[in-house]
Amino acid sequence: MLKVCDVTKSFCGARKILDGVSIDIPESHIFGLAGPSGSGKSTLLRCIQGLETPDSGTIVCNRKVSFMFQDFQLFSHMTVLKNVIYAPTLKASPEEKERCVAKAHEILRNLGIEDKILEYPGTLSGGQKQRVALARSLMIDPNVLLCDEPTSGLDVATITDVVSLLRKVNDQFGVTIVIASHDLYFLTQISDRIVLLRDGVIATEINPKQHDDPIEHLKKYYG
C-alpha cells in the first residue's frame, strides 16, 4: 500500500503547494490525481518519488517506485534499446548487461514496439516515445509507477492507446499506477479512483465507475 499522511509542501516561503493532503492508494489500483495547473498534483508525485521532501507529514511506501516523466526525457543520440537499458547497465558486468538486453527485448515486445529497437527517438511518434519511456520505467520491476501528464500533447487516438497500454501494465505486471493529469476524460476512462486537488487540498474524491457523469462532477470542483 502507498499511504500519504497529512503532507504539506511549500517553496521559497510561498503559499503551500500541498496543504495537509492524505491519501490511501491500494495495491494494484490505477489512481488518478486531477486538478488545474498549480493544484499540487505534480508536486505530490515528486514527493512520493522522493524528488521533493515534504515540509511535514509522512509518505509510507515499502514498494519499488518508478517515475515516468511528462516529456519522456529520452536521449536523442541513443537508440530505443540503449535508452531502455542505459540506467541499469551503467555499472553492470557483461553478464548483467546481457540479461538487461534480453529483458528490454521482452518488455518492448510486450509493449508492441520491439521492431523499433534500433531506431532513434526522433523517428518515433508521440505514442511510440511514450512506450519507450514506459519500457524504461519497467526495467526496475516497479511495484508503483508514477506518471506525470502521460497524455500531454497526444492526439485522441494516441490517448486511447495510452489507456490500453497502462491498463495492460496494471493487469499483466500488477503494477500500482498513480497518474497526475489535467485531462479529466483520460482519468475517468482509466482510474479506479480519482482525487481532485485544488490549491493544495483535496476538493473531491470519486470512483468514476459509480458516477453517471464523472467528468461533470469533477468540473464542479475544478475552479
pLDDT tens-digit series, residues 177-193 = 999 999 999 999 999 99
Same-domain status, 9 and 117: no
pLDDT tens-digit series, residues 68-94 = 887 788 999 999 999 999 999 998 899
Which residue, 97, 113, 141, sits at the end of a domain?
Answer: 141
- Residue 147 confidence (pLDDT): 94
Domain that holds residue 110: 76-141
For helices 126-138 and 156-173, give the axis angle rounded to 10 degrees.
20
In a domain, 69, yes or no: no
- pLDDT above 90 (res 107): yes
Same-domain status, 146 and 136: no
- Residue 70 confidence (pLDDT): 75
pTM of structure: 0.91
By the 8 A CB rule, do 101 and 85 touch? yes
In a domain, 71, yes or no: no
